[in-house]
Structure 1
Amino acid sequence: MEINQINVEEIVKQILSEMKGGPVTSSQTPSTNMPKTSKVALLTGKQKIEVREYPIPEIGDDEMLVKVEGCGVCGTDVHEYKGDPFGLIPVVLGHEGSGQIIKMGKNIKRDSMGKVVNLGDKIVTCVIPCGHCDACLNTPSRTNLCENTGIYGLISDDETHLNGWFSEYLVVRKGSTFFTVNDMDLDSRLLIEPAAVVVHAVERAKTTGLLKFNSKVVVQGCGPIGLLLISVVRTLGVENIIAIDGDDARLSMAKEMGATDTINFMNHKGIDALVGAVKDATNGLGADFAFQCTGVPVAAANVWKFVKRGGGLCEVGFFVDNGDCTINPHYDICNKEITLVGSWVYSPQDYPITFDFIKRAKSIGLPLEKLITHRYTIDEMNEAMETNMKQLGIKVVFINDKF
């Protein structure tokens, strides 16, 4: 086998890295592999994504350049695509991504779990905490509440341009939290971020002390978040999970993810009939705990009525302002003495738990890979968004066909 000079240098660097127990802290990759420009899917107006090409900037000592493998399309992306509620346009969306480090600054040594980082590692990103707000200073385990948090894919376009995962390359900035995920396949890596949303919600629910092996749990809404939530609860050993949705195909998938009973709300006229169906599935009492995973105000009002006296509720589904809902404080809260927790995104501490969840789910036969139903290239991102808005599949993803 012929070994050229570049190969020899790379082999020596790798050996030295392993001997020292740390990464080779280089900001360069072999010149034959270094790109000059990157395509991005830039949201330039409401429901208008344009493919642009920008020069790749120089990488600083605390930054990385990542070649994007792919990224899931989130409901938050769709909200921004439809109406720009965050005021980010122009913006490169995409925060459910995975990619490979091809260039890194000399100060990059370990990921947010303390694992040694090397060129070629596959990574996912988490939040970029500001480090100086009240949440960062006083509750560092809850940086999801950071008042100035940054998330790739929700950063307005600037001189860097490569700020979201709907791109061929991503610049990972100083202060970012990120994790190496070399031991997972691509489909699993693309499910990590939404799974972390769910893991955070379940960790919040566990603080109530109401999730037990014999708990009867209702999950309302069987989109990607609801389906992943069903699978997380199932991996915890909960045997009685009731899924509620208006789509039979999604309810069928809920069964595959671990639901024991399903209720199609379209088959029940009025809230009383729907509550009756829930009680029929829970020995006439109602749920011990319920997770609300839709962004629909009427659903957020209905879910309170599914919970039995002394039960608990976690609101998962409102990440943008979808409007108010109406509840009765006496009947819905006080009379039943319900324990409520809210859930907001995730913190870096949720990611290690998420990795274990995905491995555990697969080990017990939950087919998480079936959640990914549609794949699009960077030139097809408008179509990807439209597919998501029409709810034609479950998890829509962008795949970088240049990887």
Structure 2
Amino acid sequence: MNVSKEQIDRIVRDVIAGVGAQNKATQAPQAAAVTSSSAAKTARAAVLVEPRKFEIKEFPIREIGEDEILVKVEACGVCGTDVHCYKSDPFGLTPNVLGHEGTGEVVKVGSAIKMDSVGKAVKPGDKIVTSLLETSPDCLVAKYNPAKANLSDDLKVYGLLLDEPDNHLNGYFAEYMIIRPGSSFFVVNDMSVDLRCLIEPAAVVCHALERAKSCGNNPLNFRTRVVVQGCGPIGLLMIAVLRTHGVNNIIALDGNPDRLEIARSMGADEVINYKEYSGIDEIAEKVKGLTKGLGAHWGFQVTGVPAAHANLYKLIRRGGGICEVGHFVDGGECAINPHRDICAKEISLVGSWVYNSFEYPNAYHFLQRAERIGLPVSSLITHKFPLDQIDEAIQVNLRQEGIKVVVEAK
């Protein structure tokens, strides 16, 4: 039998195509089974059962609904709010699973979910971040002013949710977490796990920056002179976001020399160790000396210490502004002089409360931009602990060792 080269080539192509189709037919069900059964049946979680007491408990992983996502947690930063919850349970949440600065890998996606909150397709294997659950339709704040949804009494944050009989996995201090209906979430495959753990705190400082910018008569630009009071994780990120935004004159104020050196790496031009001065009047003179004798245009208060808030007015020039970022829990009261501190200076005073879900993309781009211009924001993560050592992770934070402490789900 004479067979031409063209006929042989066609037969080979047909055979290969047939084998490929057969392989697809036999492999597709197996791939689906892997996707649907790759998650464990149970998950360990660090449950804060009472103030200053964690217990590692194991919970069954329930089946997710059509508009839910099952996430295998990779890591989560320890926030100052977690520490407040650990010390005194100020929100009355115990027993619950804390952790809201987290990230993980998608294991299962409900059939009704096709894309994340900015329209990116989502599938098993994607890396995501999430924190906020959207407010209820009955919330009048969110209904009439969506840009102020962060002020809703109904605002919910993962890691700060009450435990429920069929919903134990509500925080990132666990091996798995279930993202509920109505949550904002974002696919961030192109980020390292360290940067992903910084997106939530970065959203805090992005929101604070926008709050300050809302005072149009006090612009934040290349020539603005800014004081950032407090160089913990949020304060250092505040310095980085200001530098990334184009502010070239930043003064960092703290009592820890190691943190002040890190502040320089985040973009601070000058640093002041308040422990080296006799009091606020002497510090104010130092700030004036760095700001043409007038004081700073803007101050960001990030310590959470009431006395620090009162002191900041002394460092701000007439016509300047203050953004209060640090008081997420009630730390008490402080005394100011309304005449000297506010009225006579025409101070613009704004508060900054959490963030809105749409500020997560801003935080994502801020972190990427910060690293591109040479700010080593990833280096803010200085300690990592496995889930079983969560108590030590909290204690390191309490002792103010390092900067950002992370708990890894392993």
Taking structure 1 as the reference length, the TM-score comes to: 0.93
Per-residue deviation at 1:348?
Answer: 1.1
Instruction: Give the counterpart letter for 1:189 in structure 2.
Output: R
> Residue 165 in 1 paired to residue 172 in 2?
yes
CA contact (8 A) 1:29 1:103 kept: no
2:84 match = 79
Contact kept, 8 Å, 2:224 with 2:247, in 1: the verdict is: yes
Q: Does 1:183 align with 2:190?
A: yes
SS at match of 2:156: coil
RMSD of equivalent CA atoms: 1.8
Residue of 92, 100, 105 corresponding to 2:105: 100
The offset of 1:232, in angstroms, is 0.3
1:21 aligns to what? Answer: none
Partner residue in 1 for 2:152: 146
Residue equivalent to 2:221: 212
Q: Classify the secondary structure of the residue corresponding to 1:126.
A: strand
- SS state at 2:211 partner: helix
Task: Give 1:393's match in structure 2, choosing from 388, 402, 407.
Answer: 402
Asked if structure 2 preserves the Cα contact closer than 8 Å seen for 1:196 and 1:351, the reply is yes
In the TM superposition, residue 127 of structure 1 has moved relative to its aligned partner by 1.3
| Residue of structure 1 aligned with 2:204, choices 171, 187, 197 | 197
What residue number does 1:25 align with? none
SS in structure 1 at match of 2:35: coil
- Provide the rounded CA distance (Å) in 2 between the counterparts of 1:257 and 1:4: 53
* C-alpha contact 2:250 2:267 (8 A) present in aligned 1: yes
Q: Does the residue aligned with 2:157 lie in a helix, a strand or coil?
A: coil
**Whole-angstrom CA distance in 1 between matches of 2:143 and 2:34:** 37
Query: 2:171 & 2:47 partners in 1: Cα distance?
Result: 9
CA displacement at 1:4 relative to structure 2: 7.5
Runs of 5+ consecutive residues of structure 1 not aligned to the other structure: 14-27
Unaligned runs of 5+ in 2: 1-19
- Per-residue deviation at 1:349? 1.6
Counterpart Cα distance in 2 of 1:226 and 1:82: 22
For residues 3-46 of structure 1, give each alpha carbon's deviation from its aligned partner in whole angstroms, at most 9, with x where no partner exists.
98798317998xxxxxxxxxxxxxx7535522100000000111
* Cα 1:10–1:312 shift into 2, 3 Å: farther
Aligned mates of 1:130, 1:248 — CA distance in 2: 45
The farther-off stretch of 238-247 and 208-217 is 208-217
Q: Paired residue for 2:326?
A: 317
Distance 1:10 1:296, change over 3 A: farther
Using the TM superposition, give the Cα deviation of residue 277 of structure 1 relative to its aligned residue in structure 2, in angstroms: 1.4
Measure how far apart 1:280 and its partner are. 1.5
Could you tell me whether the CA contact under 8 Å between 2:101 and 2:131 is conserved in 1?
no
Which amino acid is the alignment partner of residue 384 of structure 1?
Answer: A
What's 2:314 paired with?
Answer: 305
TM superposition outliers: structure 1 runs of 4+ over 6 Å: 2-7, 10-13
What's 1:91 paired with? 96
Residues in 2 aligned to 1:117 and 1:11: alpha-carbon distance in whole angstroms: 21
**2:27 counterpart residue number:** 8
Aligned to 1:255: 264
Higher helix share: 2
1:142 deviates by 2.1
Map of 1:287 onto structure 2: 296
- How far apart are the structure 1 equivalents of 2:356 and 2:23? 45
Q: What number of residue pairs does the alignment pair up?
A: 386
Residue in 2 that maps onto 1:366: 375
1:57 is matched with 62
Instruction: Name the amino acid aligned to 1:355.
Output: Y
Kept after mapping to 1: 8 A contact 2:206/2:241: yes
Question: Partner amino acid for 1:369?
Answer: S
| DSSP-derived class of the 1:54 partner | strand
* Distance in 1 (alpha carbons) for counterparts of 2:314 and 2:358: 33
Equivalent-residue separation in structure 2 for 1:344 and 1:131 (angstroms): 21
Separation in structure 2 between the aligned mates of residue 158 and residue 188 of structure 1, nearest angstrom: 31
Aligned to 2:365: 356
Q: Which amino acid is 1:164 matched to?
A: G
2-side partners of 1:194 and 1:229: how far apart? 10
Deviations 1:73-108 (A, max 9, x none): 000000000000000010100000001110111111
List per-residue Cα deviations over 1:101-122 (Å, max 9, x = no partner). Answer: 1011111111111111111111
What is the distance in 1 between the residues matched to 2:171 and 2:105?
15
- Alignment equivalent of 1:39, drawn from 14, 25, 44: 44
2:197 maps to a residue whose letter is: L
Match in the other structure for 2:139 = 133
Residue 70 (1) aligns with residue 89 (2): no
The answer to whether the aligner puts 1:273 opposite 2:292 as a matched pair is no
User: Is the 8 Å Cα contact of residues 69 and 110 (structure 2) preserved in structure 1?
Assistant: yes
| 1:284–1:41 Cα change, 3 Å | same
1:10 and 1:191, CA in 2 relative to 1: closer, same or farther beyond 3 A? farther
Amino acid at match of 1:394: I
Q: After alignment, is 122-131 or 85-94 more displaced?
A: 122-131
SS of the counterpart of 1:387? helix
CA contact (8 A) 1:127 1:144 kept: no
Greater Cα radius of gyration, structure 1 or 2:
2
